[in-house]
Amino acid sequence: MAQPAQPVARDLTPAFGAEITGFEPRKPLDAETCNVLRDVFDRRGLLLFRGLDIDHAYQVYLATMLIRKAHLADTATIADTFYISNERPNSAAPFGRLQFHSDTMWSDNPFEVLSLYAVNVDEPVVPTTYVSATYAWATLPDDLRARVDGHEALHTAGEVRRGDLTDVDLTTVERPPSTTMPIGRRHPRTGDTILYICEQMTKEVVGMAPDDSERLLGKLFAHLYDRSKQWSHHWCNGDLIIWDNAAVQHARPNVRNDGPARTLRKVAFPIPQLSRDQLPAYESAE
């Protein structure tokens, strides 16, 4: 029997990301296809597929396969209840602008993989914007690298307020979880070093005076979020993006409650175990 054709990857930017074409959503995928996709995922940090018709279980399968943990993904524990939507009741981040972040950066075991699938978007809708923290570390100027060497940063949920907060979707958390990690963090799967800070959740450089900490973080953010290094995706129905949540950060411009429908199904893995008072509540910055 003829072997199925292998998918083809095309770089989205010089720094990160790849669009995959020629992909057939079978289950299980053959070993060669898995290897091709995993290799591109590890090297590029983000995969874009267009025009897919997939259910929640398949989204879980593909996302966890890419981090070599499909055997741990029980769809019963990753319920089909997680949507980013301005129209669907009880969705996350229903409105507002989101500053750059890695989801659950405040956790000791943050999401390793994150994905969004466009279920219902009334095109055109607000895009999602990405940057590569791996590329940011690789291109970090020597003087900045020397200043962060050996330092850790404190990350917390729902407490950090910095920069322009216009339209920002502020979250509040009753008992915010937090963690410290090296600023030059070794990626647990790829071994790459990543610039592991984000404007939304990084509170301070541990052990540094507040002014010095904020000044240093400001320089690191300017490098990490350089506009020329950003890539934005304008969603169409059937688009699927799967990204490495540590290596790649995401953000979005303002989404309005009364704007065009924008419903994205979210799958993340692994899920941190949190009590109700550690979960975010959404409020407007206005």
Closest CA to 279 of 174, 149, 200, 160: 174
- The CA-to-CA distance between both ends of the chain, in Å, stands at 61
| Three-state DSSP class for residue 189 | coil
The answer for 246, left when phi > 0, alpha when psi is -120 to 50, beta otherwise, is alpha
Toward Fe ion, which CB reaches closer, 79 or 209? 79
Least distance from Fe ion to the Cβ atom of residue 146, Å = 31
Least distance from Fe ion to the Cβ atom of residue 200, Å = 8
* 244 lines the binding site for Fe ion (CB under 5 A): no
Query: Would you list the DSSP string of 219-250?
Result: HHHHHHT-GGG-EEE---TT-EEEEETTTEEE
Q: Segment 171-210, which members bind Fe ion (CB under 5 A)? A: none
Closest CA to 221 of 241, 192, 251, 179: 251
> In this chain, which stretch among 5-13, 102-110, 124-132, 220-228 interacts with Fe ion, using CB under 5 A?
102-110
Alpha carbons within 13 angstroms on the beta-carbon side of residue 194 total 28
Query: How far is residue 162 CA from its own chain's centroid?
Result: 20
> In this chain, which stretch among 100-108, 126-134, 198-206, 272-280 interacts with Fe ion, using CB under 5 A?
100-108
Least distance from Fe ion to the Cβ atom of residue 55, Å = 22
Least distance from Fe ion to the Cβ atom of residue 250, Å = 6
Q: Segment 106-165, which members bind Fe ion (CB under 5 A)? A: none
The size of the interface with Fe ion (CB under 5 A), counted in residues, is 1
* 169 lines the binding site for Fe ion (CB under 5 A): no
The answer for 20, left when phi > 0, alpha when psi is -120 to 50, beta otherwise, is beta
Toward Fe ion, which CB reaches closer, 7 or 110? 110
Least distance from Fe ion to the Cβ atom of residue 161, Å = 17
* 103 lines the binding site for Fe ion (CB under 5 A): yes
> In this chain, which stretch among 59-67, 97-105, 157-165, 176-184 interacts with Fe ion, using CB under 5 A?
97-105
Least distance from Fe ion to the Cβ atom of residue 33, Å = 28
What does the binding site for Fe ion look like in residue numbers (CB under 5 A)?
103
